[in-house]
Amino acid sequence: MTDRPERPSGGGRDVARPTQPTESGSVTSAPEGQELQVYDPLGLYQPADRSRQPLRARWDPTDTGNGRARSPQRDAKKQSAIGRFVSTYGWRAYALPVLLAVTVFVAVDAVRHSPATPATEPGFGELSPNVAQSGIIGAPPGHGKFPENLPLGALPEGGDFAERGGGNWHVVPGTSAQVGAGHERVFRYTVEVEDGVDTAPYGGDAAVAKMVETTLANPKSWSHDIKFGFQRVDAGVPDFRLSLTSRDSTRAACGFEIPIDSSCYNADLDRVVLSEVRWVRGALAFDGDIGSYRQYLINHEVGHAIGYHEHQPCEADGGLAPIMMQQTFGTKNNDIAQLDPHGVVPADGKTCRFNPWPYPRG
């Protein structure tokens, strides 16, 4: 029978003695009062020493004790507030300012590269209580005198168009359901093309009619306003006719005080005169976006037909142009003011971005 090891006093519990490593890796007892160490040639042993934390940061910065008494020398050494912060939070003290700087940089960069957005949507001026019964609405402004070198309204390069047509228009077949609530007025319209205008290069008569119909049915168009409704018809007497028209016939219907190709609403003819020259070529202000220009042309001239008789200036510098601004002539107030110095557009230096819609965010 083997002898049992002698149990030290201490309430009947076994107490492990501190040990010291040997060259073979075995553990022997260490004198009392010394810290336990283990010889670990393979580096597998990880001591539970809370002082070995990254950059001296505590795992829990709010923990004021680590089980060891602080040395008198450490307590005697005074630290500044920054030093105490770094000593307490370690790598966190460096990471937080870096993260803050990155956040500020990203926010500033996003604001700097975001497009300028005006506080309000562009307006359309005052709606006349009565639809015009006579006269030309939206005719080119001015008195026939203007700088010879004025590039305003220059015609872009592009496809062919008809210099003159037959002077008569044919209705493009097709009808549509009513769009818009029409609480105050429902306008019935036809789509027509002047005889002698060849629409084949841009899809034929049906494509012209489809562009008109889908533009007025778009919720960003005039049908957004519950006062108005629109319906395409191809028979009977419409409220107005949207008519694609040759250059000479457009000049005859709209006037040509300033030799710039433009469109108009002629109330005497009940006709929204759409210049085929502009339908094919567009305008410089639209940067080659011919589809957007055609939508603008329809919405602007229909705006005259339903009661928005006055033109509008650029309201917010850098914002969207109002639909009733003469964007065919440009989107700079200073340029348009040169054509009509006594008109509604001031020479105030404002420049807008082209916009084909009455309600561009509708």
Which residues does 104 contact at the CB level (< 8 Å), separation at least 6?
none
From residue 272, alpha-carbon distances to 22, 190, 263 in Å are 105, 10, 8
Own/partner pairs, 269-273, CB within 8 angstroms, 24+ separation: 269/241, 270/238, 270/239, 270/240, 270/241, 271/240, 271/241, 271/243, 272/189, 272/240, 272/241, 272/242, 272/243, 272/298, 272/301, 272/302, 272/304, 272/305, 273/243, 273/245, 273/249, 273/301
Average pLDDT of the chain, as a whole number: 79
Exposed, middle or buried: residue 327 (CB in 10 Å: 0-12, 13-18, 19+)?
A: buried
State the DSSP string of 78-98.
---HHHHHHHHHTHHHHHHHH
Mean pLDDT score, 133-148: 66
**3-class DSSP assignment, residue 309:** coil
pLDDT for 249 beyond 70 = yes
The rounded Cα 249 to chain-centroid distance in angstroms is: 40
Looking at the domain 136-339, which fold is it? Collagenase (Catalytic Domain) (3.40.390)
Residue 229 and residue 162: Cα distance in Å, rounded?
33
Say what the pLDDT of residue 124 is.
81
Q: What is the DSSP letter of 234?
A: S
Say what the pLDDT of residue 319 is.
95
Predicted TM-score of the model (pTM)? 0.67
Residue 242: beta bridge partners?
191, 272
Question: Which run of H or E residues covers position 243?
Answer: strand 240-245
Question: Which run of H or E residues covers position 137?
Answer: strand 136-137
Instruction: Read off the pLDDT of residues 69-127 as tens digits, 9 standing for 90 and up.
Output: 555 555 545 667 666 766 666 666 566 677 777 666 656 555 454 444 444 688 888 89
Of the chain, the end-to-end C-alpha distance in Å amounts to 99
Which of the residue ranges 34-48, 188-202, 343-357 would you say has the lowest mean pLDDT? 34-48
Say what the pLDDT of residue 338 is.
84
Say what the pLDDT of residue 147 is.
56
Instruction: Read off the pLDDT of residues 168-203 as tens digits, 9 standing for 90 and up.
Output: 999 999 999 999 999 999 999 999 999 999 999 999
> Is the CB of residue 233 less than 8 Å from the CB of residue 190?
yes
The rounded Cα 246 to chain-centroid distance in angstroms is: 37
Instruction: Read off the pLDDT of residues 320-330 as tens digits, 9 standing for 90 and up.
Output: 999 999 999 99
